[in-house]
Structure 1
Amino acid sequence: MNKQSFYNIFMVLLLCISFKGLSQQIVRPSEAVTLALENNFGIKIANNNVQVSENNKSILNSGYLPTVTANAGATFNRDNISAEFSNGETTTLNGAESSRYNASVNLNYTIFDGLGRLYDYKRLKEEYNLSALQARETIENTITQLLTVYYDVARRSENLRSLKETLNISNDRLTRSEYQFEYGQNTKLDVLNAEVDINNDSINIINSEQGLINAKRDLNFVTGNTIRNAYVVDTTVTFLLQLNKQELLDKLYGNNVTLIQNEKNIAINEFTLKANRSGYLPTVGLVGTYGWNENNNNAASFVAVSTNTGLSAGLNLSWSLFDGGGTITRVKNAQINLENQKLLKKQLKLDIERNFNNAWDDYQNKLTIFRVQEDNIKTAKNNFSRTKEKFKLGQVTSIEFRQAQLNLLTAELSRNQAKYDAKLAEVLVLQISGELLNVEF
């Protein structure tokens, strides 16, 4: 099979792929985000953890409700008895039977425990709020991951189009070189060079196709493998040029999920400290019992059958005057943990401010680079157009023509890279400022 036949077969395959692509569904960024929010396994796990925290903060887990227990028992005896009564009579019983039965309902309720359960209950509520923030952080990270993969698919799609256009240009050049060779206007070397360039362009397309397929699999994975059919992505990118640095920086302190989590951790440690201090105070409890007892005695007893039913209630007080220093140790450690969280807040604030400023500057730089690359495209296209006309007139060599062609391809690939780099830089700015979930992509 000669190279022209190989090229023809390759072009037929490309046409088949192109016609197949016409019927593919278009998955837009907002649709991909929705799929991820509904089906991503990491988000589902985070939401389940929130439900666990919600169960933990329920009144049923607070210690404020009493405990009620039921007890019952039965005892059966069969004894050989020799008994002497106070009046001097004696009796001997072989196999004397007796039985006892009891049942009771017991109530225990802590009236006062030094306010420990109050602060534990408040801590559980803050832990629920913290779990909700952790779920939000998972969602933000997943959306960032999703958009990173999505725009990678978009970039590869645009690159593939540019490579196919390059291949079409190389094919036209081969046809022209073959005609010129037939009419003696050039040498066989020009034809061979054109065929080599076609093969290189074809290999680039094959590699690009495979890279695009892999990137689409990555995107489908982030969305929970819910995109069943072949699909394409939207390569249109719109930048949020109305973003204001100072406004985002002001929102950062109240919206950044990492800072808010730290504030919740401070509150949790404050309640933990107060709960540990409750160990210095007494505990007052209420107990109550309603019971039933029945005794069936043997013949040696003065009472044959006795049945008791009754209600009893009482208060108890417990005060640990010294527990070996356990409470003191827990209080001191809780104070240290609280201080660490406050120090961490200061550190996080400085770190996030630095990250935001770096992300903002990076975003502005990449926007500038994208604009420069857009201008570079115009120059590269103009240069290629002029070189192409001169090539038709025989005023430039095939090597010069190929160089202009590659310059145009490089400019297009660089422009595509710059466009999506700038968009992902914008996503990072939104994430750090806490505005990622408030923007529709």
Structure 2
Amino acid sequence: MKHIRLYFIALLCPALAQAQQTLTLEEAIQQGITKQYSIQISRQRERIAANENSLGNAGFLPTITGSANKNYTISGLNQSFFGGLRPPLVQSGVNSNSGNAGVAMAWTLYDGKGMFILRDRFKELQNLGAKQTESNIENLIALISSTYYDIIRQSLRVNNFKKGLEISNDRLKLAKDRYEVGQGSKVDYYSAQVDYNEDKALLIAQEQAFTNTKIGFNTLLIKEYKADFSINNTIDLLPKLTLSELKMSALSQNPALIGAILSKKISDLETKNIQSQQKPQIDLVAGYNLNSVANGAGFGVEKGSSDVFNYGLRATINIFDGYNQKRRIQNAKINAEIASMQIEDLKNALLSALERTYVTYENSLNLIQLETENYAIAKQNIDIAFDRFKVGIATSYELREVQRNAVAAETRLIEAKFAAKSAEIELIRLSGNLL
């Protein structure tokens, strides 16, 4: 698929040496990826996943906490003693204070390999975030590309209706001249006027569709809604794609499928993480505390301080928790089974979508060949019928039918080309080759 990918990129990225006012597909894609809020949000979420993937979050690093407090008291004393051993003690407004400060550390040395499992889980979550961003970008590229070619399609239809209106206008002038000199009937003249008005209404409606498509395209690019631009009115196709190659590429490169596989890995790691909690956890603990006291009363210790340093090992194990851990393990295994089913379901849907889209793609290619021949014949019929009409051999009705056939033939050709291009873009998106 590599040659297909390179050819597609070359086709999507026309030379930038074109007129400045012409918007190329490459420029539109760059603008959309840069400005689209959905892509910006996806990249911010990817940054969060990258921040979560750290040794500290996985539990490899120690936790150190500090604490400090200071207490103040104001007290009063009124004491008397038996036998007059000493004079009574009367004090008021006695200020005393005490304080302590300490640092405690806990460092997990073993937790049933839970730290390593968490580290792998955060890594896969980061990979999943990157793959989701890639998927969003591919979807955006496909949407921008399809809309870009839809603008071309609408523009070609406008030109087609303009040509039809020109023929109706020439027919109206000729019918009017004939009627005024007495060589034609009023019915032919009025019929030509009605047909001209009908074609003009079709053109107005098509121009409206063209304008609305451009507004939608500007919305995709986060631009001023009515910002004007021009594009090249050409729908080019790649060499015919091969279904077998598309399927192989999709099963190995489709971002949504890869994301589902990553989700399965994350589910398996979550199961292992919960199972690791059944094993003992061993922590290295240490702490240092400093205490101080200042007593304003006239007895006991006036001032003092003490400090303590302690260290040791702490082992904990869950002996019984009401079978909650067993329940969590069972649910984690079920989630892993669901993730496996989702992978198979996504594969099935992906291959089915490729099959359906490829049928549309092949039919559109066949229709292009058929409608190209029809359009060539219809154009010749227009010239012949108009010449016959001018000399009075063909009727107004016959010319109108030939005109309608020509407009319809070109319209069908435009639609076939657009359908083929849309299917082509979708096939490459499903195969994971847009990036």
Which runs of 5 or more residues in structure 1 are unaligned? 1-22
Contact 2:62–2:108 (8 Å) recurs in 1: yes
Residue 84 of structure 1 deviates from its aligned partner by 6.5
Written as runs of structure 1 = structure 2, the 5 A alignment for 1:6-405 is 25-81=21-77, 82=79, 92-95=89-92, 96-225=94-223, 229-405=227-403
User: Which residue is equivalent to 1:436?
Assistant: 434
Match of 1:307, SS state, is strand
* CA gap 1:98/1:228 in 2 versus in 1, 3 angstroms: same
Structure 2 counterpart of 1:116, which letter? Answer: G
Using structure 2 for the length normalisation, give the TM-score: 0.89
Residue 214 of structure 1 deviates from its aligned partner by 0.8
* CA gap 1:294/1:83 in 2 versus in 1, 3 angstroms: farther
Deviation by residue 1:43-99 (Cα, 9 ceiling, x = unmatched): 1111111111111113342222222222111112222343879xx657524223321
Residue 390 of structure 1 deviates from its aligned partner by 0.9
Contact 2:215–2:225 (8 Å) recurs in 1: no
Residue 126 of structure 1 deviates from its aligned partner by 0.7
User: Which residue is equivalent to 1:15?
Assistant: none
Deviation by residue 1:286-344 (Cα, 9 ceiling, x = unmatched): 22223322111244543221122343222211111111111111111111111221222
Deviation by residue 1:90-148 (Cα, 9 ceiling, x = unmatched): 75242233211222222222222222232122111111111111112211222222223
Structure 1 counterpart of 2:236, which letter? Answer: T
Match of 1:231, SS state, is coil
CA distance in structure 2 between the partners assigned to 1:147 and 1:425 by the alignment: 11
CA distance in structure 2 between the partners assigned to 1:191 and 1:334 by the alignment: 80
Which runs of 5 or more residues in structure 2 are unaligned? 1-18
Residue 227 of structure 1 deviates from its aligned partner by 7.7
Residue 228 of structure 1 deviates from its aligned partner by 7.1
CA distance in structure 1 between the partners assigned to 2:266 and 2:341 by the alignment: 15
Contact 1:83–1:300 (8 Å) recurs in 2: no
* CA gap 1:29/1:84 in 2 versus in 1, 3 angstroms: farther
Identity %: 30
Residue 246 of structure 1 deviates from its aligned partner by 2.0
Deviation by residue 1:238-275 (Cα, 9 ceiling, x = unmatched): 21115222222221211012221111011101110010
Q: In the comparison of the two structures, how many residue pairs are matched?
A: 414
Match of 1:388, SS state, is helix
Residue 436 of structure 1 deviates from its aligned partner by 2.1
Contact 2:101–2:291 (8 Å) recurs in 1: yes
CA distance in structure 1 between the partners assigned to 2:310 and 2:86 by the alignment: 40
Structure 1 counterpart of 2:397, which letter? Answer: I
Structure 1 counterpart of 2:213, which letter? Answer: A
Deviation by residue 1:204-253 (Cα, 9 ceiling, x = unmatched): 11111111111111001111126874112222122111522222222121
CA distance in structure 1 between the partners assigned to 2:360 and 2:349 by the alignment: 16
Structure 2 counterpart of 1:404, which letter? Answer: V
Match of 2:230, SS state, is strand
Deviation by residue 1:393-417 (Cα, 9 ceiling, x = unmatched): 2100111111111110111111111
Deviation by residue 1:172-199 (Cα, 9 ceiling, x = unmatched): 1122222222332212222222221221
CA distance in structure 1 between the partners assigned to 2:96 and 2:176 by the alignment: 119
Structure 2 counterpart of 1:267, which letter? Answer: K
CA distance in structure 2 between the partners assigned to 1:391 and 1:67 by the alignment: 95
Contact 1:35–1:226 (8 Å) recurs in 2: no
Structure 1 counterpart of 2:259, which letter? Answer: Q
Contact 2:58–2:115 (8 Å) recurs in 1: yes
CA distance in structure 2 between the partners assigned to 1:25 and 1:374 by the alignment: 31
Contact 1:67–1:107 (8 Å) recurs in 2: yes
User: Which residue is equivalent to 1:19?
Assistant: none
CA distance in structure 1 between the partners assigned to 2:195 and 2:363 by the alignment: 35
Structure 1 counterpart of 2:91, which letter? Answer: N
CA distance in structure 2 between the partners assigned to 1:78 and 1:179 by the alignment: 117
User: Which residue is equivalent to 1:9?
Assistant: none
User: Which residue is equivalent to 2:16?
Assistant: none
* CA gap 1:358/1:326 in 2 versus in 1, 3 angstroms: same
Structure 1 counterpart of 2:59, which letter? Answer: G
Structure 2 counterpart of 1:399, which letter? Answer: Y
Using structure 1 for the length normalisation, give the TM-score: 0.88
CA RMSD of aligned residues (A): 2.2
CA distance in structure 1 between the partners assigned to 2:128 and 2:224 by the alignment: 30
CA distance in structure 1 between the partners assigned to 2:111 and 2:226 by the alignment: 58
Contact 2:149–2:235 (8 Å) recurs in 1: no
CA distance in structure 1 between the partners assigned to 2:20 and 2:341 by the alignment: 54
CA distance in structure 1 between the partners assigned to 2:370 and 2:361 by the alignment: 14
